[in-house]
């Protein structure tokens, strides 16, 4: 599978990840990686020792989540 974002730009790059939101395949240049604690923290900034979950998204969905 090739990167969807690169495909939009007329390029062909092997994809290394899949967006968890829209399911688009993305390459290492286009993938957005976030680490979020699955447990909601009552006080922002508080350090927790929970193992954060990895969330891979494409640039489009990353921007959409940032704006929401």
33 CB-near residues (< 8 Å, 6+ apart): 54, 55, 56
Which residue number, 41 or 53, has a Cβ lying nearer to Zn ion? Answer: 53
Nearest to 3 by CA among 35, 42, 30, 21: 30
Q: Which is nearer to Zn ion, 14 or 52 (CB)?
A: 14
Residue among 23 and 52 whose Cβ is closer to Zn ion: 23
Q: Smallest distance from the beta carbon of 26 to Zn ion, in angstroms? A: 6
- Least distance (Å) between residue 52 CB and Zn ion: 20
Which residues here bind Zn ion, judged by CB under 5 A?
A: 3, 5-6, 13, 19, 21-22, 24, 27, 29-30, 58, 61
CA 66 vs CA 15, 37, 62: distances in Å: 23, 17, 6
Q: What pairs with residue 47 in β-bridges?
A: none
């Amino acid at each position: 599978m090739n990167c969807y974002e690169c495909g939009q730009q007329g390029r062909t790059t092997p994809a290394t990840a899949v967006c968890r939101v829209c399911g688009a395949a993305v390459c290492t240049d286009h993938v957005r990686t976030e680490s979020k604690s699955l447990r909601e923290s009552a006080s922002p900034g508080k350090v927790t020792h929970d193992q954060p979950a990895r969330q891979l998204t494409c640039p489009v969905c990353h921007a959409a989540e940032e704006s929401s």
